[in-house]
Structure 1
């Protein structure tokens, strides 16, 4: 799936903003915890220095001696806390211990030959500190959501001109001929893109104009002499003096003219962009009979039977000229390569199948039969084609959305399957 440019820009800014916010939040948290420990350590140090000085100046201020701890135990707060005996084995300095689920600081210092245990409870302070940290993290989450919202808004401003350019390109594709005005855009990159597109669009328009002129010339300059050749052949056929090889040559010229007319029609149809819309109900059985008519002499000469298993009432939704060209090329290939047997036409489940009893197509050649100028037969064959018929068939099928498949078994025959929806399905 492709994501829009706006989504990508918003995602980038959102991820970047959230990453910076999290980095800042965790950095502040780590710094605050470090400063908290330093502050507690400084408070304990100053308090211990003051207490030791007072005890040394006035021994009467000393708390009762605790034989269990082998020293004096005092508290910096009014709360009385009983220390576990394991504290007695701790070295001098400040230690953190857990008593009743609470974190307690114990400062241990030498006092004469004994030890002084000073207990500090900063739970209330630490509780407030954690609340501040929680507020900080919650604020980070809120700012993260705000960052996402602002990112989408900002990305919309950044890509609005790109979206506008896309809309104008669509208008051009739908028939707008005026070039895009680069003055409507502020960004230098977009102005360059607009100028490049205008140049490309102009070259495409010139090319399309040349193609239309070419197809018009082809339609007139080729069809006119082909019609003259066809008419001349029909008149010469009525001359009884022409017989034998001369009449065979004349028929060959007439078939070549017919093939040229069909090829010209196919190429012109492929050149017309709007031809794909001309779809109508076509009687399938009648279309097959019409397609077979020009091949009647070849079928009779080779003794080929034709079987049409198609309902006379069946109508498919297709472009009639395109379907005629497709069937004509398929039948032409089948007749050219089949020397005995039959041609079988049948329609089932939306597929028109055309089967012959020719020599078949080698397996390695099947993937290439639709390639332009590709030929599977011997180059010395008398019925050799030019390798363009099936290429045109493929292009016409792609144009009208018809699926075409070829299956073949060497020595048995070839089957061409053409997907043609009925008029009701369309």
Structure 2
């Protein structure tokens, strides 16, 4: 946008400069040509009113003397030619004869040019000798009427002015678009906050100040936009806090009724002799709801933490092997250890276990083949060969109940796995990444543990 504004400004500047220069040069040439024509008319009037127009025969010395008496110093640069009816030259001044130019008798005004000279000629009939033609003209340097009078110094001055204007235009565009750039950066932060289900940042103070000045009596449109945007962000944050509070409260309120429903159902099923198959189905659904609420509350509690507690230095294998063995009971030998070099991690062991359980559980649940895992150099890499995590799920990786619309009923899950992963990594500031290419590859990087000496 800034470059576009700069090039448009540059185009307008160059076009305006060329237009003004063209107008000025045209006016300049027209004025000089008008000046020459006035000089020629005055000279022609003087010649016609002199004795030169009365001579029947022309003697060069006599004609030259008459011209000198009439024009004096003004004769410099001017020439005169007298022709008869047949076009033969009866008299001509020496300066035009040296140029060896053939001057036509028509039209009334004639313009001739050479490499070094510009000649303007007026053709008139002598009043007392209608058969004779008087040609009065001016010889000037070609630069007098052409553009060559624009010398190198003038071009250098024009180039310098244009350079200064271009530099000022560039800095002006930078100043004008700096709030747009800051706004784009801020909106990018807002987008990331929305994707990660975090609180939206407020509009930066530096961005809010744009458009406010001592000379302005009221805020401009950009300042008004920032104020509206700030109000909108405040309202969204307040709404999210209330929604989050209501959600947690509802989840807590569901725990007790679910327990009562489960107990009452056991009493009713015993009293009315409900078949065992129906009892198991109902209890399985109640347990699923209860487990979903418990997992959500556990995740919500984790998201409220700002600083992790109960930290221990643990070996990664001490957490990974039990997780590995538990999942093996459900999924068999699908987990393949590619490379294992034990290292230490500073964390709450429960959180690291939850992270591994969710990553490996999702990889096994949403793929059919083997799942590879490697541990080395403070990094864990887990790769599956399934269809890969859909983009709409990755874009909402921090949101709860984040499941793909194409997930099958066989792929059981409530969509909290990725939210757990992101929340734990963000809590400990662990760098992580998901790569989708012929499956999904998850990498998490742990900072090295520095032993106290």
Tell me if both proteins adopt one fold, taking TM over 0.5 as the criterion. Answer: yes
Identify if the C-alpha distance between structure 1 residues 254 and 193 changes in structure 2 by more than 3 Å, giving closer, same or farther.
closer
Asked whether 1:84 is paired with 2:114, we answer no
Identify if the C-alpha distance between structure 1 residues 38 and 397 changes in structure 2 by more than 3 Å, giving closer, same or farther.
farther
> Structure 2: which 5+ runs fail to align?
65-80, 190-200, 261-275, 397-401
1:392 is matched with: 419
Identify if the C-alpha distance between structure 1 residues 334 and 257 changes in structure 2 by more than 3 Å, giving closer, same or farther.
farther
In the TM superposition, residue 385 of structure 1 has moved relative to its aligned partner by: 1.0
> Structure 1: which 5+ runs fail to align?
229-243, 409-414
The whole-number CA distance in structure 2 between the counterparts of 1:31 and 1:41 is 15
1:126 is matched with: 144
Backbone CA RMSD of aligned residues: 6.1
The whole-number CA distance in structure 2 between the counterparts of 1:324 and 1:225 is 30
1:328 counterpart SS class: helix
In the TM superposition, residue 207 of structure 1 has moved relative to its aligned partner by: 2.8
1:404 is matched with: 434
What is the number of equivalent residue pairs in this alignment? 379
Which aligned pairs between 1:9-408 and structure 2 lie closer than 5 A? 20=16, 22-54=18-50, 55-59=52-56, 61-62=62-63, 70-75=88-93, 79=95, 81-84=97-100, 87=102, 91-99=106-114, 101-110=116-125, 112=129, 113-123=131-141, 126=144, 131=149, 144=162, 173=202, 186-189=217-220, 192-193=224-225, 195-210=227-242, 213-214=245-246, 217=249, 261-269=294-302, 271-272=303-304, 283-295=315-327, 297-299=329-331, 303-304=332-333, 306-314=335-343, 324-336=353-365, 343-347=371-375, 352-355=381-384, 361=387, 372-374=402-404, 378-379=408-409, 381=410, 384-386=411-413, 388-389=415-416, 392=419, 402-406=432-436
The whole-number CA distance in structure 1 between the counterparts of 2:356 and 2:253 is 26
The whole-number CA distance in structure 1 between the counterparts of 2:114 and 2:335 is 102
1:417 is matched with: 441
The whole-number CA distance in structure 2 between the counterparts of 1:174 and 1:281 is 40
The whole-number CA distance in structure 1 between the counterparts of 2:19 and 2:301 is 66
The whole-number CA distance in structure 1 between the counterparts of 2:445 and 2:90 is 102
Identify if the C-alpha distance between structure 1 residues 14 and 198 changes in structure 2 by more than 3 Å, giving closer, same or farther.
same
The whole-number CA distance in structure 2 between the counterparts of 1:134 and 1:27 is 21
The whole-number CA distance in structure 2 between the counterparts of 1:317 and 1:133 is 77
Between 1:392-401 and 1:248-257, the stretch displaced more is: 248-257
The whole-number CA distance in structure 2 between the counterparts of 1:279 and 1:14 is 61
Identify if the C-alpha distance between structure 1 residues 161 and 394 changes in structure 2 by more than 3 Å, giving closer, same or farther.
closer
The whole-number CA distance in structure 1 between the counterparts of 2:392 and 2:228 is 38
The whole-number CA distance in structure 2 between the counterparts of 1:89 and 1:319 is 107
Between 1:156-165 and 1:132-141, the stretch displaced more is: 156-165
2:340 counterpart SS class: coil
